[in-house]
Amino acid sequence: MTVAPRIRSTLFTAMGLAWRDLLHEWRITACLVLALAAVLTPLLVLFGLKMGVITTMSERLLRDPHNLEVLLVGSGRLEPAWFEALQARPEVGFLVPRTRSLSATLDLMAGGGMALTAVEMIPTANGDPLLGPKLPPLFGPGSVLLSQSAAQSLGVVAGGHVTAVVARTVKGERQVARFVLTVAGVVPESAFGRDGVFVLNPLLVATEDFRDGFAAPLLGASENDPPPPTGPRSYASARLFAKGLDDVGPLADRLRAQGMEVRTHAAEIETVKSIDRVLGFIFGVIAAISVIGYGLSLSASLWANVDRKRKDLALIRLIGFSRGAVMAFPATQALLVALIGCALSLMAYWGVSLLFNHALSSNLADNEFVCRLPQLYAVIAVVATAVLVLAASTIGAYRASLIDPAESLRDL
């Protein structure tokens, strides 16, 4: 047998002896495993609570797209270049131009004499966070989405039609444009709680042109009116949504730096971030104390175990086991204790998390959890524990490497 296979053979034999020694002294092994589980289980539960609470709060914020909105206050003169530059920013999730608020209204009439006056027009486009994937896309300027309150007031449903009326006064004469709109869908009240009609940009622009005295062929009003100015069109405002919760603050700061007044839900977002930081700090302190305490305890236990077995380990050295094989003895025992302890801790965590989630289920929506530990973090916990115990076993391994094979002969 060559040297390398012989070394591997003695190494595996030493590891097998370490396992049998753990089984032989099962009471001591149980104490080490339970000590690890007693430290690791609370950490898993605490981290699961942190992840569950923060994830649930973040998902609740994300479920309400209003929290991603950056509201521009007032009106200005926003050129196409401004929209292009802002749209290219990675923080921007949705951006559409908005005309003057005084021009962005119309009257709506439905069958049976039902009518609404001065209904707000909200510009929209594909990917609008307020609308979500369940509402159908608008297929043209004559296709609109009504808010739930407006649809109920008019008595219309998706697929129905309403008549829109836009009025203006030119040289003291009141002029009216009437046109039919198709209701493609109804926006739920949770997304938009007041009367409103979501329209595409061409209809919004045509309404503004008409009120400014220009021709608006889209509204059927083009006779004897001058055409709107040619060239790039400027807008008074915009509908703007950040891509994620962490993007709201930087996006708002960028606009404020341009002299714009904006409003956001940054306070609610910052509350979640503050809770995350506080829980992270608490978890870090408790974890550090627990890890250091258990590391020292395991090191002392393995050291004492090696000292208790000095004669046995010396005998192993005497019969031909290498120094490395003897060093593997405490390292193998530490790793086995870690794996068994981790398995016990994960089972205990699973039971506790089920208890927490069931006890607080009345306060949770579907797919929400108070205590949740992603699989990746569970794997990280096991790997980190294995690394910790192997590091702690180095003291015992070093003590084992110093044992002189001759020690086994002194008591003969």
Per-residue pLDDT tens over the stretch 281-324: 888 888 788 778 777 777 777 677 777 777 777 777 777 777 77
Whether pLDDT at 10 is above 80: no
Average pLDDT over residues 117-145: 89
**Pair (223, 325) in one structural domain:** no
Q: Which of 51-60, 101-110, 128-137 has the lowest mean pLDDT?
A: 51-60
**Sequence-distant (≥ 6) Cβ neighbours of residue 326 within 8 angstroms:** 14, 313, 316, 317, 400, 401, 403
Say whether pTM exceeds 0.85: no
Quick one: what percent of the chain has pLDDT higher than 90? Answer: 29
**Pair (299, 389) in one structural domain:** yes
Q: Which of 355, 279, 372, 392 is nearest to 36 (CA)?
A: 392
pLDDT of residue 400: 67
**Pair (201, 162) in one structural domain:** yes
The C-alpha R_g of the chain, in whole angstroms, comes to 36
The range of the structural domain enclosing residue 163 comes to 100-234
Average pLDDT over residues 117-140: 88
pLDDT of residue 94: 94
**Pair (303, 225) in one structural domain:** no
Average pLDDT over residues 10-15: 72
Task: Give 302: exposed, middle or buried? Use CB within 10 Å, 0-12, 13-18, 19+.
Answer: buried
**Pair (364, 397) in one structural domain:** yes
Number of domains forming the structure of the chain: 3
**Pair (108, 160) in one structural domain:** yes
- Give yes or no for a contact between 251 and 67, defined as CB atoms under 8 angstroms apart: no
Q: Which of 114-118, 133-137, 259-263, 352-356 has the lowest mean pLDDT?
A: 133-137
For residues 166 and 50, the model is more confident at 166
**Pair (52, 180) in one structural domain:** no
For residues 158 and 402, the model is more confident at 158
Mean per-residue pLDDT over the chain, rounded: 84
- Give yes or no for a contact between 328 and 15, defined as CB atoms under 8 angstroms apart: yes
pLDDT of residue 6: 46
- Give yes or no for a contact between 299 and 395, defined as CB atoms under 8 angstroms apart: yes
